[in-house]
Amino acid sequence: MISTLLYATGNVGKVFEVSRHLQPTGLEVVSPSDLGISAQIEESGTTLEENALLKARAYHELAPQHLIMADDTGLEIDALGGEPGVFVRRWKDHVHDMTDQEIIDYTLERLAGFPDEQRGAQFRTVIALIWPDGTEKLVDGILRGQISQQAAEIHIPGLPFEGLFYVPEWGYLLGETRIMDHDQKKNFLSHRERAVEKVVTFLQ
């Protein structure tokens, strides 16, 4: 009987968020640092699925007795054929890292002249699960929205699209929901949370 899930991330906030959603499964969620594991995994895949599996398989090798969970997230803009996808940080030339502001400016530049109805986009998170016996499972979570004509004054370091990504079904920018308290936010599930909810359903 598996009692522990190793979430392959160094982001404490993500571990806390996922732990809360996985409570119904009874699994204890731990991070690599909780187990004294340190690894640098090169995300060399060209799809979210490939990157999530790369991370999950690497940690499966390091901690084979645990259920492993790894994820990858990308933004897919309809009018740009799904760009930037997995290449958010290295979107412009796939080589050099861009700053948050450079990403915001480049997004608005690429979509200049597009009316609101042609600015559709989606955040997509893919989660890979690997059991101790090597069984693998992929699920994804999608949040549809649109890219605003200009960026709002919302800046969350490392998350450049928070002030650009508007979700019509909510009536809020994604960044506006980040600063809500839990009772307010529980009605606004992010792409990652939607993927985790699928994991909960599957595990139960």
Q: For residue 184, is pLDDT > 80? A: no
Q: List, for residues 10-34, the tens digit of each pLDDT value.
A: 888 888 888 989 999 999 999 999 9
DSSP secondary structure letter of residue 99? P
pLDDT at 185 over 90: no
Contact 140, 125 (CB under 8 A): yes
Structure tokens at 58: 């690497």
Residue 73 has pLDDT above 80, yes or no: yes
User: With helix as H, strand as E and coil as C, how does 103-130 read?
Assistant: HHHHHHHHCCCCCHHHCEEEEEEEEEEE
What is the phi/psi pair of residue 110, to 5°?
Answer: -65, -30
**Predicted TM-score (pTM) of this structure:** 0.89
pLDDT, tens digit, 9 for 90 and up, residues 108-163 = 999 999 999 999 999 999 999 999 999 999 999 999 999 999 999 888 888 899 99
Active-site residue set: 72
Confidence (pLDDT) at 203: 87
CB atoms within 10 A of CB 102: 15
Residue 58's pLDDT is what? 96
Given pLDDT bands bounded at 50, 70 and 90, which one contains residue 194? very high
Q: Which domains does the chain have, with CATH numbers?
A: 4-203 (3.90.950.10)
